[in-house]
Each structure stands twice: as structure tokens, then as C-alpha cells.
């Protein structure tokens, strides 16, 4: 009998890609706002309601739910939503598992590389570092605290927190947004362009979740970031080079981004490097450790 894996954040790019890969080996279920298929179960985070049938024989939960950080300006209401979509959703799962007296083999939660704060520094952050002191790091700290509760309350044998960098995929996310202006010949770096952009190929982030799922020794926080570091400027130039497009526009000034995005602009204009040593020491191998090969793979049909 296949082990049951329950995935939240069903509509997201990562959930869709990951479920395709683990589908043959596991019985995959989704928690979603609107049920459309037999393997989907409805929940409402605001109302704190959930279809408890989702938890029958569940062995693992992969918690990917969370409102998109960069989709809208950070109004006070939006900030509350960014936190609630991550923390209240985890709390609802925890409460339901406790009520049904179910113990998981693993609770694997998405987390953010922004744990270390939105800052520009030469430091390379490891998982042992203290968190930053800005809004995004606050979100991640609360996110991880909600995940840790599963182990602290003896609801999961282990908790894995995947501190995710910018996921590169031609289907969605940052890379997809960068392509149209570059293809139109009007692409340009943001601000100074010198800010680091921690990144990971979609195939590697999926593989890392599978690695965490299948290896009981994986426990705690891990940086999901490729070993080769890059800046916003270098990433933009590499994309243009592969697409054979010119880059002649000036950098987008900081004040323009601040006018458009408000406080969110900080997440675009600042960035640090993070180490992938802990996950590789655990035996994980990146298929795309280098940016050039990653982009060539993703952009081969563009």
C-alpha cells in the first residue's frame, strides 16, 4: 500500500510539479479551496474549516500554502494575509491531526531564504545564523515556528523546513516575469544590479522535497539554494545572452521600484548569498548547480 502524502498550496507551481514526480510512488492528496477531483479535499483557512477525510491514513504532509510574497504591494492588510496564509493554515492542520490523534512520519514545510533578512552583504548565510530583523524574516520566523510545533507537540516524528530561494521555471515565477521585457529588447537590471539573487532550478527544488520525504535523517532547516551565486545584473545578462537579445536600457532606478512596489521594493533591491553545504553534506546532488546550464535548460524552447 502506498504511503499517503497530503500537499497544501495545490494551485502553486511547486505543488503541481512535485505531485507529478511523487505520484507513481505515493498516494497524493491536495488541500484546496475548491474541490475538483477525487484526490482533493476542501479547506477554508479564514473560517478554519477542513475536510477531515483528507487525513485518513496520512503519513506525510508537505505544506506549501502561502500567499505570493511579490504579487501585491505590502499594505497592512496584505501583510496580515502573507502571515495568516502560512501560519493559520499550519495551525489548522495541527489542530485537526491532534483532534484525530494522528501522528505523521514527517511534516515538510516550505520556508524562505529571506529568513536571514533582506540585506546586501558579502556574508554567506548558513542555517545556524540568527534571523534578520525585517518584515520578510519575521514572516519566515513565524512560518517555521508553526512548523516546529508539529514536532514539539509530538504530532510529527520530524519537521523539515525548506528555506527556498527564487525558483527558476519558465512556467511561472520570477523568470517568467523577466522574459517579456528581455524578449522585447527592453530588459534591464533592477537598481544597482549588484544585489545577490539566491536561486534554484525547479527540478532541483522538487528533488530536494523528494529527498527530504524519503530520508528520515533529514530534519530541521535546510537552504534550498543552488551552490553558484549570482547577482540580479548577472542573471539578467545571462537570460539576454541565451535569448540572443541586446541589453542596452539603463538599470531601473531604485526610486521607480519604490514608487511602484512600496516596501516590497526592498525584496527586489537587496539580497544576500546563502550556503547549500548542509543539504549537500546530507547526500543531496544538484542537477543544475550552475546558472548557465540551468537557464539553457529552461529557455531551450524560447
Mention every residue, 6+ apart, whose C-beta is less than 8 A from residue 247.
182, 187, 188, 236, 237, 240
Task: Give the integer Cα–Cα distance in Å for 302 and 299.
Answer: 5
> Is 70 exceeded by the pLDDT of residue 22?
yes
Residue 120 scores a pLDDT above 80: no
Taking the C-alpha atoms of 88, 37, 177 and 280 in order, what is their torsion angle to the nearest 10 degrees? 70
Q: Which uninterrupted H or E stretch holds 110? A: strand 106-112
Provide the H-helix boundaries in the chain: 13-22, 76-99, 135-152, 173-183, 202-214, 232-243, 254-261, 265-269, 277-281, 291-298
Residue pair 226/204 in contact (Cβ under 8 Å)? The answer is yes
Integer Cα distance of 294 and 248 in angstroms? 24
Which range, 114-128, 204-218, 237-251, has the best average confidence (pLDDT)? 204-218
List, for residues 70-105, the tens digit of each pLDDT value.
888 899 999 999 999 999 999 999 999 999 999 999
Instruction: Find out whether 29 and 54 touch, Cβ atoms under 8 Å.
Output: yes
- Which CATH number does the domain 4-166+200-225 belong to among 3.20.20.100, 3.40.50.720, 2.60.40.10, 3.40.50.300? 3.40.50.720
Structure confidence by residue, pLDDT tens digits, 156-201: 999 999 999 999 999 988 899 999 999 988 889 999 999 999 999 9
pLDDT of 269 reads 81
H helices present in 153-172, as ranges: none
The domains of the chain are located at: 4-166+200-225
Amino acid at each position: 500500500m502506498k504511503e499517503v502524502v497530503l500537499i497544501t498550496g495545490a494551485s502553486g507551481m511547486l505543488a503541481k510539479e512535485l505531485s507529478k514526480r511523487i505520484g507513481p510512488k505515493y498516494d497524493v492528496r491536495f488541500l484546496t479551496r475548491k474541490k475538483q477531483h477525487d484526490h482533493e479535499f476542501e479547506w477554508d483557512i479564514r473560517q478554519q474549516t477542513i475536510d477531515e477525510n483528507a487525513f485518513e491514513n496520512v503519513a506525510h504532509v508537505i505544506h506549501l500554502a502561502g500567499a505570493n510574497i511579490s504579487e501585491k504591494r505590502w499594505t497592512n492588510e496584505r501583510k496580515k494575509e502573507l502571515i495568516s496564509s502560512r501560519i493559520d493554515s499550519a495551525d489548522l492542520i495541527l489542530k485537526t491531526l491532534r483532534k484525530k490523534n494522528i501522528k505523521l512520519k514527517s511534516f515538510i514545510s516550505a520556508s524562505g531564504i529571506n529568513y536571514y533578512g533582506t540585506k546586501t552583504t558579502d556574508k554567506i548565510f548558513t542555517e545556524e545564523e540568527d534571523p534578520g530583523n525585517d518584515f520578510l524574516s519575521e514572516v519566515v520566523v513565524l512560518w517555521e515556528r508553526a512548523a516546529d510545533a508539529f514536532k514539539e507537540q509530538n504530532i510529527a516524528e520530524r519537521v523539515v523546513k525548506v528555506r527556498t530561494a527564487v525558483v527558476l521555471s519558465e512556467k511561472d515565477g520570477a523568470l517568467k516575469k523577466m522574459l517579456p521585457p528581455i524578449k522585447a529588447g527592453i530588459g534591464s537590471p533592477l537598481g544597482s544590479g549588484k544585489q545577490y539573487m539566491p536561486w534554484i532550478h525547479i527540478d532541483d527544488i522538487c528533488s530536494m522535497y523528494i529527498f527530504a520525504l524519503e530520508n528520515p535523517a533529514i530534519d530541521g532547516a535546510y537552504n534550498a539554494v543552488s551552490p553558484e551565486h549570482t547577482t540580479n545584473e548577472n542573471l539578467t545578462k545571462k537570460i539576454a545572452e541565451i535569448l540572443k537579445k541586446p541589453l542596452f536600457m539603463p538599470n531601473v532606478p531604485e526610486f521607480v521600484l519604490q514608487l511602484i512596489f512600496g516596501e516590497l521594493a526592498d525584496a527586489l533591491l537587496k539580497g544576500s548569498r546563502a550556503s547549500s553545504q548542509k543539504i549537500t553534506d546530507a547526500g543531496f546532488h544538484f542537477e543544475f548547480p550552475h546558472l548557465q546550464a540551468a537557464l539553457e535548460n529552461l529557455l531551450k524552447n524560447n
